[in-house]
Chains A and B, each alone.
Chain A
């Protein structure tokens, strides 16, 4: 090692001592990384879990064939679930509700909030399509009774009906309800409810692990200077900050 690098290293150590952080060189860290054993089958399971939870049915089926990993959920149920999700995302709420009930009538029975949000979405779609009379009828017959049972439902209902008061809905204070993000939110909710009813976790594990990595690095930063991974999509090790 040249004199230059020896000096740099010593400066780093002095700095680290001042802040009492342990300095771990790239070499030392790579050795620690190499000591970690990650099993291929565990990684395969993680990927399969992602495909299944996010609803990539065909990909999950192909992955099962190519890797020999068994999905932890019946693939047939994914297609049904995705059909429901898609229907909501496209605004076909009635269709979605029918499909959910075909899948499992208990889901909506045991999920009043979900059912209300679906009905609310139906109302939004009616308003979006300019069917004012139908919308009002629907609101009064279907949604108002639910609103009476629950204060927060009532508030939501009032917010939604308020859309009718504006000519230019894109500029009104409750205009966000017409945004596609509202459909996506409802779609996500129904997706999660179906997964839960099938005793499956509603979120894939991979994002949690990525967050855990960020968290673990932040925690370790308090006590040590070591090579970090700052870009998750490339997983390249950065040299320890001097």
Chain B
């Protein structure tokens, strides 16, 4: 039954509850978004072939698969270079970008080049001969960066060599490799989208380009790992206040109501050497966070076991104000979860009946609609677990409901100082801040480099990829 006392007092709390509702609904739908692919960021497009439209005509021929180029005529001067760019610029939202060429034929003079250019590059010149371009040349092993004269850089290269060029966004450098080994690096002061570029400049020269469609000769994964390690080493040198991690773990256990774990943890800490000393200067006093610890633990257990009716019963006894408004997000999530549990055990008729009584009213309510539709969709499948709404049957879904109830109970604490502190644990706030800072820094840096991804950090040191 909805509470119809909508005077100005309860309006503000209603708004607050709507905020909470939206917050938890978003969490509930997180599983849906994840279902498709584990990717949290949109994939940037990466080059996969050569651009046949903008290369100056006549001097060279690009193969039909757009992955090799051959110089067909007789080179006469410095403005008839057969230079080709990739069809797309190098993606920036990653640690490193890299591509390779295989020199099939060094032709008359072996005047091959690999490097990067911008979209305003004069397409008859070697990369590096013009400003705002760079190229590593095979005939003299020199690096050209816009001046007429090259600088000594690496070895020359010729037929059957595999040469690579890459951008290291972490160190803001270009690097080049020959046959799997780095030959040199140089600071990248070119701005703007950079196109992988290859060039041939004497009769019969031919190169094949590898944008990653085949394995590289260079161990790119290891290179990336080394780069991350460098950053990691710098970070490890930072010192932390003693016992900070300990305190954060403890407050996490308290926040989510993991009572048994907390008790074990506290007992063990008494006997550690050296003993852990916890200063009570946290934003919340001990009392605030142990508030209703046992009840929160009980409710979490019930929900994690799928015993929604029992959970609702306890809530009505202990915290009727939370389940008073049947149209609140909390009630919505509990009812949906009950529905899901019925589907899980195959009680489809029971589910339909329940849905008619409790879920029907949410159709047409903004914010609730998408989720309730997903729930009801479970009925359509023989194997709901494998469907697009299969995420609803996962453990993580029960977890969301448990966390919602947990937060709502915390919000009833009369001693609550921070009006939003009950929504997120300290650990969560720290991780959000970390992610946001990394993203902001990257955005201010032309969007170059990797984003912070908790998943990847958790899997570092393991052989499986995240």
Contacts and interface: CB of A to CB of B under 8 A. Distances in A.
Interface of A: 22, 24, 29, 32-33, 35-43, 45-47, 49-51, 56-59, 61-63, 65-68, 72, 86, 89-90, 180, 184, 187, 201, 204-217, 219-220, 223-224, 226, 229, 232-237
Interface stretch (B96-104, B178-186, B267-275, B376-384): B267-275
B432 A234 contact: no
B457 A205 contact: yes
Interface string B260-281: 1101110110000110000001
Contact of A213 (B396, B428, B430, B455): B430
Given A42-B458, A66-B258, A235 B433 contact: yes
Contacts of B310: none
A239 B348 CA distance: 53
16 contacts: A32-B440, A37-B40, A43-B428, A50-B249, A51-B261, A57-B268, A61-B264, A206-B245, A206-B248, A209-B457, A211-B236, A215-B234, A216-B438, A219-B437, A233-B241, A235-B427
B429 A229 contact: yes
B240 A234 contact: no
A62 B441 contact: no
Nearest to A215: B235
Nearest to A202: B461
B304 A38 contact: no
A237 B282 CA distance: 14
Nearest to B263: A62
B452 A50 contact: no
Given A38-B435, A63-B258, A234-B282, A223 B240 contact: no
A183 to B, nearest CB: 8
Given A210-B244, A234-B283, A235-B426, A45 B258 contact: no
B134 interface: no
Contacts of A39: 30, 34, 396, 454
Contacts of A72: 462
The 5 closest A-B pairs by CB, nearest first: A234-B283, A235-B429, A59-B264, A216-B437, A58-B264
B369 interface: no
Interface in B429-463: 429-441, 444-445, 452, 454-455, 457-458, 460-462
Contacts of B312: none
Which among A22, A37, A66, A237 has the greatest number of chain B C-beta atoms within 10 A?
A: A66
B268 A56 contact: yes
What DSSP secondary structure best describes chain B's contact surface?
Answer: helix
Interface in B220-259: 232, 234-236, 238, 240-241, 244-245, 247-249, 251-253, 258-259
A115 to B, nearest CB: 22
A107 B436 CA distance: 42
Given A56-B268, A215-B238, A234-B282, A32 B274 contact: no
B444 A46 contact: no
Contact of A42 (B253, B436, B454): B454
Given A210-B244, A219-B441, A33 B436 contact: yes
B268 A224 contact: no
B434 A213 contact: yes
A58 B111 CA distance: 68
B306 to A, nearest CB: 12
Interface in B287-321: 297, 300-301, 304
B436 A233 contact: no
Contacts of A29: 436
A174 to B, nearest CB: 22
A40 B396 contact: yes
Interface string B403-443: 10000000000000010000001111111111111111100
Nearest to B418: A236
B395 interface: yes
A211 B238 CA distance: 6
Given A29-B436, A59-B264, A211-B235, A47 B252 contact: yes
B437 A217 contact: yes
Given A43-B428, A68-B304, A36 B399 contact: no
A68 B395 contact: yes
A92 B240 CA distance: 31
B458 A45 contact: yes
Contacts of B301: 66
A24 B439 CA distance: 14
Nearest to A65: B260
A43 B252 contact: yes
Given A58-B267, A62-B261, A184-B273, A213 B433 contact: yes
Given A39-B30, A40-B403, A47-B252, A223 B433 contact: no
Contacts of B245: 50, 204, 206-207, 210
